[in-house]
């Protein structure tokens, strides 16, 4: 069978066009008195764009290896290495703890270690808990289902992480104008907090890539990690100021992960071979 050629530019162009179209419309409607949950539906449709694009791209490819790879990544429990997932979860917990402790040097309170009573946002009456659950699952189907591999098929995992980190950050932009979202709240606080979110997404992408590759490119492993990160960001009572400190800690953590996994991040054997057995993971 002919070797499959990934098309990252086409994939991301479609994802951005569809997602942004729905989210820009949601931003307009969310400020209307007659919203009635329409903006929430538009947000959900925009959120699903990468996943739908990935599934359609794979299904329409006519390549059996690509289709089998997507199936393995989604339901291949045998690919998961529990120790690496536990390490990632504990590692992110340490990041949160260190961020709060360091923030006290700038006058922040230790009360941030408490759990919040509720999530910080809701959209059109949609449960925020349901929102972060959907985000973790749906995003990973898109990004790990096709998006990340489409870039990694041409670059090392390090370069891929840089590229994907910036792309992932930019993809979120319209959310800052949709009333009721966490991102909208950051924009109201000031540009510093908007930039902090966008910048913080990039090193977080390195951590997710590590989870992904260490678990033999398992989508399920990334869903677990993504869900845990989203939940921690929402349920731990960190202030916006502390989350700026957290971004610095995440950069340090990402640097340590890269330095201790240089063979994984800089090897190039997988380029062009992702669908071969040797390209599954390191």
Residue among 2, 111, 139, 277 flagged as catalytic: 139
Residue 14 in tokens = 């479609």
Question: Is 277 strand, coil or helix?
Answer: helix
Bridge partners, residue 54, by sequence: none
Query: Across-strand partners of 123?
Result: 126
d(CA 22, CA 175): 11
Torsion (CA) 92, 95, 99, 100 in degrees, nearest 10 = 60
CA distance 168 to 202: 8
Tokens of 72: 């393995």
DSSP 41-71: HHHHHHHHHHHHHHHHHHHTT--HHHHHHHH
Neighbours of 250 (CB within 10 A): 24
| Backbone dihedral angles phi then psi of residue 144, each to the nearest 5 degrees | -85, -20
**8 Å CB contact between 14 and 53:** yes
Is 139 among the catalytic positions? Answer: yes
CA distances 278 to 143, 189, 205, 208, 281, Å, are: 21, 48, 23, 21, 7
Q: Which position among 160, 172, 183, 277 bears the catalytic label?
A: 172
Q: d(Cα 156, Cα 163) in Å, to the nearest integer? A: 11
Residue ranges in 60-181 assigned as alpha helix (H): 64-75, 82-103, 128-142, 148-152, 157-171
Instruction: Catalogue the active-site residues.
Output: 139, 172
């Amino acid at each position: 069978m002919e070797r499959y050629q990934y098309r990252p530019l086409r994939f991301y162009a479609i994802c951005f066009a569809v997602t942004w179209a729905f989210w820009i419309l949601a931003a307009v409607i969310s400020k209307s008195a007659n919203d009635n949950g329409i903006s929430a539906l538009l947000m959900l449709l925009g959120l699903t764009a990468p996943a739908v694009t990935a599934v359609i791209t794979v299904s329409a490819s006519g390549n059996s290896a690509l289709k089998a790879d997507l199936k393995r990544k989604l339901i291949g429990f045998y690919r998961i290495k529990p120790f690496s997932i536990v390490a990632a979860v504990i590692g992110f917990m340490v990041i949160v703890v260190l961020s709060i402790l360091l923030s006290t040097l700038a006058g922040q309170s230790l009360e941030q270690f408490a759990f919040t009573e509720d999530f910080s946002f809701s959209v059109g009456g949609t449960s925020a808990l349901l929102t972060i659950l959907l985000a973790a699952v749906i995003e990973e189907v898109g990004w790990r289902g096709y998006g990340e591999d489409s870039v990694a098929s041409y670059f090392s995992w390090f370069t891929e992480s840089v590229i994907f980190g910036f792309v992932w950050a930019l993809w979120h932009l319209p959310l800052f104008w949709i009333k009721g979202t966490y991102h909208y709240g950051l924009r109201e606080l000031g540009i510093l907090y908007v930039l902090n979110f966008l910048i913080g997404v990039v090193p977080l992408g390195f951590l997710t890539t590590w989870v992904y590759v260490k678990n033999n490119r398992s989508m399920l492993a990334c869903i677990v990690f993504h869900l845990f990160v989203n939940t921690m960001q929402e349920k731990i009572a960190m202030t916006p100021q502390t989350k700026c400190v957290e971004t610095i800690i995440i950069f340090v953590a990402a640097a340590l992960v890269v330095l201790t996994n240089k063979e994984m991040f800089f090897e190039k054997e997988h380029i062009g071979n992702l669908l071969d057995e040797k390209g599954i993971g390191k």
